Amino acid sequence: MNPCVTCKHLFVVNKNDRWYAWLCMKLPLLAWENEVTGEKVADPPYMRCKDRRMGPMKGRECPDWETGINSLSPAKLGVGPDGSTFEKMEKTMEGTNG
């Protein structure tokens, strides 16, 4: 079985997140309406790797697994799923409380 940690589709929001919070960028989730705020959201934006690997696929190879660098790779730490870097995100958030 190929581990998600070596897959190029792995996205980790925070490098300190535990494995059960890791996301697969190959499987975006549809936005749903938050009944409290009325906003359409997709949170998390991708399916969790553990849900994919431990659900109907349990014990089988992931058909979307591809070797490559991902957000856990040292060169990619601080890079968002759209390729934006932490420095770029800081510049676009100047003057906000984000």
What's this model's pTM, rounded to 2 decimal places? Answer: 0.65
Tens-place pLDDT, residues 48-84: 988 887 766 676 788 888 988 888 876 665 566 566 6
Task: Output the pLDDT for position 61.
Answer: 80
Residue 18: what are its φ and ψ, rounded to 5°? -75, 160
Q: Do residues 47 and 20 touch, judged by C-beta distance below 8 A?
A: no
Question: Residue 43 is which amino acid?
Answer: D
The upper half-sphere exposure of residue 8, i.e. CA atoms within 13 Å in the direction of its Cβ, equals 6
Domain regions of the chain by residue span: 4-92
Tens-place pLDDT, residues 4-13: 888 999 998 8
Give the end-to-end CA distance of the chain in Å, rounded to a whole number.
Answer: 39
Q: Degrees (nearest 5) of the Cα angle 21, 27, 31?
A: 85
Q: Provide the 8-state DSSP code for 78.
A: T
Nearest to 51 by CA among 23, 79, 91: 23
